[in-house]
Amino acid sequence: MPASHFISVLFLLLIVSCGGKSSGGSSSDSQNNLVNQNETIMPDGSNVQGIYSTELWPQNFNLQLMRVGIAAVERDRDEFKAMVKMETGSKGTQMRQAIYTGRRCPNLSDDLNHDAYIDIQEARIAIGMITIPLDGNLDSQSRGGHGFPQGNSSRGSYHYRVSASFDRMFSDLKRPDDDSSDDITKLGINEGITFPGRVVLVQGVSSDIILPPTVAGEGNMTPQESIPMACGILWKVTDLPDELNH
C-alpha cells in the first residue's frame, strides 16, 4: 500500500475514533448547553444575540492529533466579543483565524490530490469565504490584519480576546467590496448574518515543518502559513464555556 494511502486510512480511523469531531463536533457538555439554533436573519443584524461557541479540532491529523482549543463569539447589546483559546497550536507561529460563510469543516473527501493533506485551496469548497477575520480589529475586515495571535514557544498556545462595537462591525460588513479578488466577502444591502452552523477556521503551522510540494498556498501566503490547522462549527449556547472565562 502506498504511504499516502496508508496515512489517509489512518486519518479516517482517527476521525471515526474521535466521533467525527474534526468536522466541528461538540463534546457532550457542549451539546447539553445548546439552545434553539433557528434564527430569522434580519438585515439589521438584530437576530444576533447571546453566545455562539465551538470546539476546535485538527484538520490535518499528520500535523495535529487531538482537540486543539475552543472558540466563541458573544453579542450583548452593542458589545461584540470574539474569543479563541488555543491549547496546543504551532509554536512561535502567527495563526490566521476567521469566521467563514461555509457550513462544514473540510474532511478527507476534500483532499483532491490524495497527498494526505488538506490545503487551503482544497478546503475552500467547504469553508467558503471569510466574513469576520478574528484579528486585532473586529470593527473592520481590513484594518486588523496584523493583529492575529501567535502561538507561544512552549506549546503553541494562545488566548485571543477582542471586543468591538457590533454596530460598527456590522456597518463595515455592509460597505461595498473594494477587492473582489480576495477571500473576504461583504454582505449585500438586504442581507444579514447568523452564527449557528458557521465555520471557524484557524490556519498556520511552523515554517520549519516540511510539507510536500503538492500542498498549495494562497495569495502571498506560503503553504505553511495558509494550511488549515483547526476547524469548528459555531452553535448557540446558554453559557460561555468555562475555558474562556479564565
Give the closest residue to 228 by CA, choosing from 100, 45, 140: 100
In the chain, which residue ranges form alpha helices assigned H by DSSP?
3-17, 28-32, 120-127, 166-173, 223-226
Task: Give the position of cell 467590496.
Answer: 177
Q: How far is CA 121 from CA 11, 48, 82, 150, in A?
A: 20, 30, 26, 23
* Tens digits of residue pLDDT in 165-203: 999 999 999 999 988 888 999 999 999 999 999 999 999
Cell digits for 40? 430569522
* Tens digits of residue pLDDT in 112-160: 999 999 999 999 999 999 999 999 999 999 886 778 999 999 888 999 9
Beta bridge partners of 50: 75
Cα–Cα distance between 222 and 181 in angstroms, integer?
Answer: 18
pTM: 0.87
* 8 A C-beta contact, residue 203 and residue 226: yes
